[in-house]
């Protein structure tokens, strides 16, 4: 067989891979059913209450997002030293770090939240020095305890993730950086931490989504987030399904936006050598 014939066969259209169509029969059926369900919900359920509560819902969504981003950022800043201590730290740092992650991950988040708010929060008023300090206007509110509980929980789970991410960075890269003359801080800042974050990013996406789904717990300590607003709607309108369906839609949209944002950052990070 000549080279021309081989080249022609290699470029034959039937030999090229064809793009798989998204619109398969089962997907079309699911789309139609979903559209019919949305139409039925919009037409046959009561939504006349929605305009009256839109300002409260907007404020509640902002509170939920503030809780999510503040606790995720603070928790990640705590998770990095927790993970690093478990990988390279001496025993007096490694032991407490492992104990912290084990205890926090082994107890319910709601229990931690109530221990901070109803336990620690009830002790502060008994100390005049605290009541007269500049911290008292904040400590008498509920949101600092919610931020603390969610931050501690996120730090414990993500600390274990960062432990595996730090340990998974190839030793050859670290040795090459040392041979290049990098100091410990430069090596950590330019090689070890970025590579560990890159390895942990897919898991960090899931942990952040779970953190979003954990924010409604702060409503149990009187923080008025979007879940608390929906609960108020149910009490005032005596409706059950409509507010809950709206709440599910809100969380689905927020989750979708989070996933898209993390995928954007994942695609922006080069994967060569990962």
pLDDT tens figures, 21-61: 667 787 788 888 888 888 888 888 899 999 999 999 999 99
Query: Is residue 14 pLDDT above 60, yes or no?
Result: no
Q: Share the mean pLDDT of the chain.
A: 89
Task: Give exposure, 135-171, as e/b (b: 16+ Cβ within 10 Å).
Answer: eeeeeeebbbbbbbbbbbbbbbbbbbbbbebbeebee
In terms of pLDDT, which residue wins out, 267 or 77? 77
Write down the domain spans for the chain.
51-268
Answer yes or no: are the C-beta atoms of 258 and 208 closer than 8 Å: yes
What pLDDT sits at residue 273?
46
**Model pTM score:** 0.85
- pLDDT level of residue 86 (50, 70, 90 thresholds): very high
Residue 274: pLDDT band with limits 50, 70, 90: very low
Percent of the chain with pLDDT over 90: 64
Task: Output phi, psi for 21, to 5 deg.
Answer: -75, 135
Residue 58: predicted pLDDT: 96
Helix 50-88 vs helix 143-168: crossing angle, to nearest 10: 40
Provide, rounded to the nearest whole percent, the portion of the chain with pLDDT above 70: 90
Q: Which residue has the higher pLDDT, 243 or 265?
A: 243
pLDDT on residue 89 = 83
Cα–Cα dist 66/69, whole Å: 5
**CATH for 51-268?**
1.10.3720.10
Mean pLDDT in residue range 232-255: 94
Tens digit of each residue's pLDDT (9 = 90 or more) over 147-202: 999 999 999 999 999 999 999 999 888 899 888 888 889 999 999 999 999 889 98
Residues 7-35 as b/e (b if ≥16 CB within 10 A, e otherwise) read eeeeeeeeeeeeeeeeeeeeeeeeeeeee
CA pair distance 143, 64, nearest whole angstrom = 11
């Amino acid at each position: 067989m000549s080279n021309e014939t081989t080249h022609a066969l290699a470029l034959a259209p039937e030999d090229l891979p064809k793009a798989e169509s998204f619109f398969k029969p089962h997907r079309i059926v699911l789309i139609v059913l979903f559209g019919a369900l949305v139409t039925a919900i919009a037409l046959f359920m009561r939504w006349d209450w929605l305009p009256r509560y839109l300002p409260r819902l907007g404020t509640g969504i902002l509170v939920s997002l503030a809780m999510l981003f503040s606790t995720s950022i603070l928790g990640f800043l705590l998770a990095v030293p927790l993970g690093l201590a478990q990988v390279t730290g001496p025993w007096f740092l490694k032991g407490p770090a492992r104990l912290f992650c084990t205890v926090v991950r082994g107890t319910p988040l709601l229990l931690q939240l109530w221990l901070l708010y109803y336990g620690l929060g009830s002790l502060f008023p008994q100390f005049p020095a605290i009541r007269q300090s500049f911290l008292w206007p904040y400590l008498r509110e509920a949101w600092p305890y919610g931020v603390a509980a969610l931050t501690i929980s996120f730090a414990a789970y993500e600390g274990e993730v960062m432990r595996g991410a730090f340990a998974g960075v190839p030793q050859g890269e670290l040795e090459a950086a040392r041979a290049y003359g990098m100091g410990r801080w430069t090596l950590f800042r330019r090689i070890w931490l970025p590579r560990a974050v890159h390895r942990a990013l897919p898991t960090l996406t899931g942990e952040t989504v779970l953190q979003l789904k954990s924010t409604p717990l702060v409503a149990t300590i009187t923080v008025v987030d979007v879940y608390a607003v929906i609960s108020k709607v149910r009490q005032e309108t005596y409706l059950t399904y409509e507010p809950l369906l709206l709440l599910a839609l809100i969380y689905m949209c927020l989750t979708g936006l989070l996933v898209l944002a993390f995928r954007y950052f994942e695609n922006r990070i080069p994967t060569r050598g990962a």
